[in-house]
Chains A and B, each alone.
Chain A
Amino acid sequence: MAAVLITTFVVGTALTLVIALLVTRHAQRTHAERKRARIRDELRPLVIEMVADEAAPAPEELRGLSGLRARMLGELLGSYATTLKGESRRRLVGLLEQEGYVDQAVAALSSRGAWKRAAAAQSLGEMSSSRAVQPLGETARDDADPIVRMVAARALGSLGDPRAVPLLLEAVERGVPPTIFAGAAIRIGEAAVPLIERAMEEGVQPDLLCDVIGRIGVSDRPAVIRRMLDDPEWEVRTSAARAMGRVGGPASVPALLRLLAGDRWQVRAAAARSLGRIGEPEAFEPLVEASASGDYWADRAAAEAACRLRDGFARLLIRAPDLNPALLEAIESDVRFEPLLELPPSSAIPRRLAAAGASAPFEELREAGARDD
């Protein structure tokens, strides 16, 4: 009985604290939201005025702010800095630096609370100041909290500065998801390519870096990637095959055709898609052959690629009625198929497609053909 009573007392106390927390938090949050909305409504027209008139100096009301108003201004300016380009953006970033918001956020990267450090990293990403590259890079690499590292890496990527590339690679070594690095590198764009290719040559994350090069779509040394088409790891071969579609050009076609005969469906599918993207007609017959391997996803990729080639769609139509199901689906899913439905049923193409087994409205033709037989 005593134990029950003591436990009841403890639980009752805990419940009282929880209720107090609920009430306090709700009130605090509601009040904070209203206050933030009010301040945002005051500051927004001033910021818009400043952004709209590049010649005018920044309004006095935007200078020397502190506390919540300063933080709100930093957020607002940061949100505009990410969307503006050119001189307007430079002015905004200049104001953020001049008024000390960037320095405040950099200092906050060393706060004790992980929440504050993450918020500071997020703001630095939005403020787009190049002063933040090194501090964010160090945070992405060294912060004790994995979420803070991720936020810092993401913010670093949004700065678009190529100096971030080696820092981000170090962050990946410390557990930041590779996709964050990849997204960041793609945002940095061409300027990141030499650094990435150097890392590839050193053997750092070849499959990831191949993918990134492919997405950026530019390569100073496509031979580096072409060598990776023969890598013993299938993931690397797949990434290299994907990248070749964007950076390899017609010179990559022979190597990609070799991969069409590989044992891994992922590699064959990636090679097929790249061949479709490059568009060279010499890939047509190998792709048609590859679309009948019996491996569903590789067949589909090969069929779609055959359709994408220069004159591929027309060649497939001529090939009808000898079309396997993957090729037939690829033709029917192509936007160029739609006008064919308007052709008179007696013309050659509808008759060929009906014979290949295409769906209605060619069903009537198919049935008519069966009756004639």
Chain B
Amino acid sequence: MIDAGSALEAMLGGYAVFVIGYFIALNGSYAGLFLFASRAVLGHLRWDPSGGYQQTFTSPFTKPISLLLPAYNEEVGIVDSVHSILGLRYPELEVVVINDGSTDGTLEKLRDAFDLRAIDRVISGTIPTERVRRVFMSRRHPELVVVDKDNGGKADALNAGIDVARYPLVASIDADSLIEEDALLRVVRPLVEDPERVVAAGGIVRVANGSRIESSRVVDVRLPRDRLPVFQIVEYLRAFLAGRGGFSAINSLVVISGAFGLFRRDVLLEVGGYARDTVGEDAELVVKIHAHMRRSGRPYRIVFVADPVCWTEAPATWRQLMRQRRRWQRGLAETLWRHRRTVANPRYGAFGTIGMPYQLLFELIGPAIELSGYVAVATAFALGVLEWQLAAAFLVLAVLFGILQSASALVLEEWSFHRYRRSRDVARLFAYSVLENFGYRQLLSVARARGILDAMRGTTGWGEMERAGLAEGAEGSGR
């Protein structure tokens, strides 16, 4: 007869070995990504130590861009957003605002501010969308087009924008994001240098909370007083500079942020645009492009450019943050499920054998393994099968690895873009890269685990988006 205690001990022992192995694999992968990312970021800085992009601006080979701005009930900030985008430094730009069936005064505000008149714009209809009611052009700004359509969600709005766009490159941004003045010049560079192969490029998203904003531009980068956005700043540096930079270097970038991405329009049309039935439409699009290009056998690259910056408002309350992470995790799960045949499939190159397995093993199920690890450790400890010294040592090791990851990202930031100029801001960022290991990460794992459950249950919808807005003047929001 099997001794239940021995069986439990064996199970816990086996699970402990698994967790240790998982932990080594996770941190080893991150270290590899970090090395790739460092090489790419520092190489990029060699390319233009002065940081100027005058030649990109004046080159006739810099292709024109249609910049899509989906808007739903944005009457408060839409005019400022559009003014800000019209002021972007780029030789030839078309701004397509897609009013996605707003129930407030978004369209009226645009009409009044930009003196719109209706035109009979031919829409290719390549990607089916909800009904487009009217298309307007601005008398004052001929480069501005406004599409008024029935509500269909963000993905549907972007698809309508792709259909209406007249230029070979399409960029998508969020209405509440702030794009730096020469961000387009920076993000377009890979597509200028390698127009045949590069099909998409994404920039870095930074947290604007606490920074000083004037005329919709971040003029002084600062940390917010509140703790929660500071944690997210550390996280974003880790995720973007190290994570995305690393994946981009091996052509396995799995997501370009919906807040700021640039695509070749012909490729978007080939893949049918954004998927409407997922909350992770930005990741799903990029994965879909990878799969499509691999299947068609055409050489291609999807690139992360660390230079061009989009500033966004990070959630300032736990409720907003948890909801956001739950939604992101659900989106990731939906994307992985939809494209499951690419996972660990050598036919899809590094994307299939490295990028997608990483997302599955570490990003998707990582939170579940982490939380189950805590339960296992606590159970083992309670049953007396685990030495407290070993548990403590492993915990210390895990925390040190976590700090090392974030601190490395900070060093890369300091070595490259050096956006946080104040010594106390850098010190505070380091302090938070320590503190995040004592509760912040664990709570996010709970939210992410719930996101996986949501995906399994087939939950739909985005939920309510609450934003305080990035206020102009002395300090942006952070309260």
Contacts and interface: CB of A to CB of B under 8 A. Distances in A.
B121 A22 contact: no
A8 B43 contact: no
Contacts of A12: 400
Instruction: Classify the secondary structure of A's interface with B.
Output: helix
Interface stretch (B46-54, B212-220, B236-244, B368-376): B46-54
Contacts, number: 122
B137 interface: yes
B55 interface: yes
Given A8-B396, A29-B414, A183-B61, A328 B120 contact: yes
A15 B390 CA distance: 21
Interface residues of A, number: 54
B46 A151 contact: yes
Nearest to A186: B60
Given A4-B394, A22-B410, A25-B414, A338 B61 contact: no
Contact of A26 (B142, B397, B408, B426): B426
Given A300-B166, A359-B119, A4 B393 contact: yes
B61 A182 contact: yes
Nearest to B391: A4
Contacts of A22: 407, 410-411, 414, 426, 430
A209 to B, nearest CB: 13
Given A179-B59, A179-B195, A296-B122, A122 B411 contact: no
Contacts of A11: 397, 400-401, 404
Interface in A321-373: 325-326, 328-329, 332-333, 335, 338, 341, 357-360
Given A15-B404, A179-B59, A296-B124, A359 B414 contact: no
A25 B416 CA distance: 10
Contacts of B50: 122
A26 B421 CA distance: 8
Nearest to A357: B120
A325 B122 contact: yes
B404 A14 contact: yes
B115 to A, nearest CB: 11
A150 interface: yes
B390 A4 contact: yes
A91 B436 CA distance: 58
A332 B390 contact: no
A273 interface: no
Contacts of A4: 390, 393-394, 397
A91 B453 CA distance: 71
A7 B397 contact: yes
Interface stretch (A36-44, A111-119, A305-313): A111-119
Nearest to A180: B193
A119 B411 contact: no
A29 B417 CA distance: 11
A1 B386 CA distance: 12
B141 interface: no
A119 B49 contact: yes
A144 interface: no
Contacts of B88: none
B411 A158 contact: no
Contacts of A329: 119-122
B440 interface: no
Give the most central of A18, A154, A182: most B CB within 10 Å: A18
A110 interface: no
A332 B120 contact: yes
B131 to A, nearest CB: 16
Contacts of B389: 1
A8 B400 contact: yes
B194 interface: yes
Contacts of B42: 115
Contacts of B403: 15
Given A4-B397, A183-B61, A359 B118 contact: yes
Interface in B307-336: none
B139 interface: yes
B418 interface: yes
A1 B397 CA distance: 12
A27 B47 CA distance: 24
B192 interface: yes
Contacts of A14: 404
A194 to B, nearest CB: 20
A251 interface: no
Nearest to B126: A296
A18 B393 contact: no
B226 to A, nearest CB: 23
A147 B46 contact: yes
Interface in A111-132: 114-115, 118-119, 122
A26 B423 contact: yes
A250 interface: no
B309 to A, nearest CB: 19
B456 to A, nearest CB: 35
Contacts of A19: 407, 430
A326 B122 contact: yes
A254 interface: no
A8 B397 contact: yes
Given A26-B426, A150-B47, A358 B120 contact: yes
Nearest to A208: B61
A11 B397 CA distance: 8
Given A148-B46, A151-B47, A333-B137, A179 B411 contact: no
Given A118-B47, A183-B61, A18 B193 contact: no
Nearest to A14: B404
B415 interface: yes
B117 interface: yes
A342 to B, nearest CB: 12
A177 B166 contact: no
B393 A1 contact: yes
A195 interface: no
B124 A147 contact: no
A1 B48 CA distance: 49
Contacts of A314: none
A63 B369 CA distance: 66
Interface in A1-55: 1, 4-5, 7-8, 11-12, 14-15, 18-19, 21-22, 25-27, 29-30
A186 B401 CA distance: 52
B407 A18 contact: yes
Interface of B: 42-43, 46-50, 55, 58-61, 117-122, 124, 126, 134, 137, 139, 142, 166, 192-195, 387, 389-390, 393-394, 396-397, 400-401, 403-404, 407-408, 410-411, 414-415, 418, 421, 423, 426, 430
Interface of A: 1, 4-5, 7-8, 11-12, 14-15, 18-19, 21-22, 25-27, 29-30, 114-115, 118-119, 122, 145, 147-148, 150-151, 154, 158, 177, 179-180, 182-183, 186, 211, 215, 296, 299-300, 325-326, 328-329, 332-333, 335, 338, 341, 357-360
The list of the 8 closest CB pairs from A to B, nearest first, reads A359-B118, A177-B193, A118-B46, A183-B59, A296-B124, A4-B393, A179-B61, A332-B119
28 contacts: A4-B394, A4-B397, A7-B397, A8-B400, A11-B397, A11-B400, A15-B400, A15-B403, A15-B404, A21-B411, A22-B411, A22-B426, A22-B430, A26-B426, A115-B42, A147-B46, A150-B193, A151-B46, A154-B55, A158-B55, A296-B124, A299-B122, A300-B122, A300-B166, A326-B122, A358-B120, A359-B118, A359-B134
